[in-house]
Amino acid sequence: MFKIVLRYLVVVVTLFLCLPPRIKAQTTVQINDKVSQRIFEYQQIIYFEDTTGKLGLDGIHAAYMAGKFRQNHEPTPVTRHNKSAYWYRIKIGKSNPTSNNWILEFFDQTIDSITVYSPVGETYKSTSLGSSHPFAARFYRHKNFSVNINSNHGPDDVYYIRIKANHSVNVIVVMRTVSRFIGYALDEYFFFGVFYGMILVFGLYNLMMFIAMRQVQYLYYIIYNLSIGLYEMCADGIAYQYIWPNNPGFNNYAYGIALFSASIFAILFAQKLLNLKVNAPRLNKVIKGVIIFRCLYFLACLANMAWFNYKIIEFLPLSISFYAGCYVLIKGYKPARFFVIGYTFLLTGFIIKTCIALNIWWLPVTEFDYYSLSLCFIMEMLFISFAIGDKVRILKKEKDDAQLSIIAQMKQNEELKETLNRSLESQVRERTRELVEKSNMIAEQNEELRSVNELLQQQAEEISRMNVLLEKDNIILHNDIEKVTHDRVMLTEVDFEEFSRIYPDRETCFKFLSDLKWEHGYACRKCSNTHYGSGHLPYSRRCSKCGYEESVIAYTILQNTRIPINKAFYMIFLMYSTKGKISSHKLSEILSIRQSTCWAYSSRIKKVMEQRKKEIKNAGDKGWSKLVIDNSTNA
């Protein structure tokens, strides 16, 4: 008996294991005219991830029958893998007759492709939606994707929804009546008009402030507001509906460009409004680094469009701006208080949107949650306008206080000036009296000094006259001494040292030769031209016509002489003064020159003396110089 029971249990377990896996029964959403709107959530949606992206409706039926669909455990389903296609299955039931028309609406306007398979009898009809399709292809000309529901078909209708997106999206599916849809759409577009109208109003307000005050922070805020408006229009589908309805491809990165512009100009505006360059220099440098990083990331996004999906990167500039506002507010910068309040709203909205995007929001997503960031943008712009006005008010108050301080200081300065003027007038009168007394005394002293100066003038003139006479006597005496010395030297036999006082060096000898040689004027030996210029050698002369250059020792007894010229002068002088009787040995001893050289040169001098015996006979002290020039070759 025990064995039979055991076998029965084994068979039951085996059959149970062989059956396809089953998921928990899916909840059917009932159509009820009393409830005009239902949002699908939790057990109302089951899903299947097609990693190949190629399965059709038949393949999905097979997947469902194989138990591959999974229960949705999140408030809002999320697509996580860009390369996969996600299939969602919903059941819509009709327990009571309905007189309303119903539609399915998808909130996320950034979904690339939505295909809704609606039951029609035993078959399915497909409807294609999504941001990759032209806007004109939509049945309802509304920013959200909408498709009709056949509410009169059967008690329980099964709908399949295929979603493909190049980024992670929230699949928010809403079932509502057409009348509710129209009323909601009208209200929604009305609030959109208010929202974008407020952006324009804030932009025009700051434009007028910029024109009036010429401060670049207002220009930054205008561009920031317009960028926020463009981003919201991209996120809401308004931009696709009204600005580029025939360019669906631009949807993939238009929001990224708008978000980058909003982020950059928000930081620049915060930098100027909070005056971080003065209030927080180090934080100002950090913000410059964040701006550079965000620009580089934007360039990388242009190269890889998928990176635009990481909107979480905007938390960095948002948080650093919020921290900067808190920091300068703690330091006592009052205009930062409204800035901090406004950014608190903005940070709150950003956190809500991030939680929804990451699917960590613990509540079902409603219209309020979905548009929470837009509401926070309005609050942020409102408080930022208060911050701008507060800054202007504080600046005006500081200006008024400064003007009052300047006026008080001017009054104080005026009183001080009057006091000083009175004191100075009294001092000037006293000083004038003293000066008059001193001037009278000085006038008397000047008179005495004038008489003394006249006496000193007469004495100075006498001394000057005596100095002139003494100067003349000194000149005459000096000339007499030089003449006596020269005459004594020339008329007596003196040693070389004493002779060298008159002709100490080569320069003096050349000058003497030049004056002696061209005493009666210069004439070129080649062309007889009388005009000349300085030559290359000292005291040489160069003909200005033919260029012939004649040195100072050419055509003299000194030409081709190798002994120093002053010693040659002295040898001529000794030969002349001794009438040629001095020996070559004596000359060698006196001049420290070899005897053979002295003999050769003295013989040459004797020859000239013999030739010019008549000229030097009574020449006196000038006789030795007549031996120098070779008259026979002179022009």
Q: Where are the domains of the chain?
A: 23-184, 195-397, 495-513+556-635, 522-554
Rounded to two decimals, what is the model's pTM?
Answer: 0.52
Between the CA of residue 325 and those of 202, 313, 336, 537, 552, what are the distances in Å? 21, 20, 6, 89, 97
pLDDT band at 97 (very low <50, low <70, confident <90, very high): low
pLDDT band at 17 (very low <50, low <70, confident <90, very high): very low
Among 239-253, 275-289, 484-498, 591-605, which is the least confidently predicted range?
Answer: 484-498
d(CA 175, CA 162): 17
pLDDT above 70: residue 101: yes
pLDDT of residue 369: 61
Beta bridge pairs of residue 163: 86, 114
Between the CA of residue 7 and those of 16, 19, 543, what are the distances in Å? 14, 19, 149
pLDDT (tens digit per residue) in 548-587: 888 888 888 888 888 888 888 888 888 887 877 888 888 8
pLDDT (tens digit per residue) in 463-480: 887 787 777 767 766 655
Angle at 89 between CA 88 and CA 94, to 5 degrees: 140
SS3 455: helix
Beta bridge pairs of residue 92: 29, 157
Rg (CA), the chain: 60
Q: In residues, how long is the chain?
A: 635
Average pLDDT, the chain: 78
Q: Please tell me which residue, 396 or 258, carries the higher pLDDT value.
A: 258
Question: Amino acid letter at 159?
Answer: Y
pLDDT of residue 543: 92
Among 59-68, 403-412, 543-552, 618-627, which is the least confidently predicted range?
Answer: 618-627
Domain spanning 23-184: which CATH class is it, in words? mainly beta
